[in-house]
Amino acid sequence: MAGPLREFEDLHVSVDDVIYMPGLEASPEKPHPFVYFISIHNDSAVAVTIRGRKWVVHEDAGEIIVVEGSGVVGQNPVINPGEHFSYNSYHVVARSARVSGAFFGETAGGEWIFARIPEFRLEVPQGA
C-alpha cells in the first residue's frame, strides 16, 4: 500500500447471513463450520477496488485467530458507485466465537481506504 490509510465512510459492509453447516469438512480440533454471506456496498461517487481483508476471530475459550489475505475469494472486485459486491465463504471454530475485521481497498483516485466488517457471532448450537 502506498500513502495513508483512512476509513471510507461511504463503503458499507453488511453481514447478510451466518449459517451453521455441520455437513462441511472440518477437523476434530475445529469441528464447527459456518458459512457467512457478506455484501460490500459502495455509496460513494468513486469506484473502489477491494485489495485485501483482515478477519479477527475471538473464540469464547480465549483463542484469537487472525486471517489476512489479498482480495476477496480470489478476486479484486471493482465496486462502482451505487453498486455492491456479495460473496460467501466459511470459517471453522472449536467453540462459539465473535468475528470482526475490515476490507482494504483503493479508490479510482489512488487513495487507500478501509471499511469495517461489523462484528457477528458464530454460535455453535447446544449439543453440537
The pTM score is: 0.92
Asked if 73 contacts 87 with a C-beta cutoff of 8 angstroms, the reply is yes
Q: How confident is the model at residue 124 (pLDDT cuts 50, 70, 90)?
A: very high
Give which of 97, 98, 79 is closest to 87, Cα–Cα.
79
- The reply to whether 62 falls in a domain is yes
Q: Using one digit for the tens of pLDDT, what is the confidence trace for 17-64?
A: 999 999 999 999 999 999 999 999 999 999 999 999 999 999 999 999
Number of domains observed in the structure of the chain = 1
Average pLDDT value for residue range 98-124: 97
Q: What is the CATH number of the domain that holds 59?
A: 2.60.40.1470
Which structural domain range is residue 101 located in? 5-122
> Does the residue 128 lie in any domain?
no
β-bridge partners, 79:
48
Give pLDDT, residue 3: 64
pLDDT computed for residue 119 by the predictor? 97
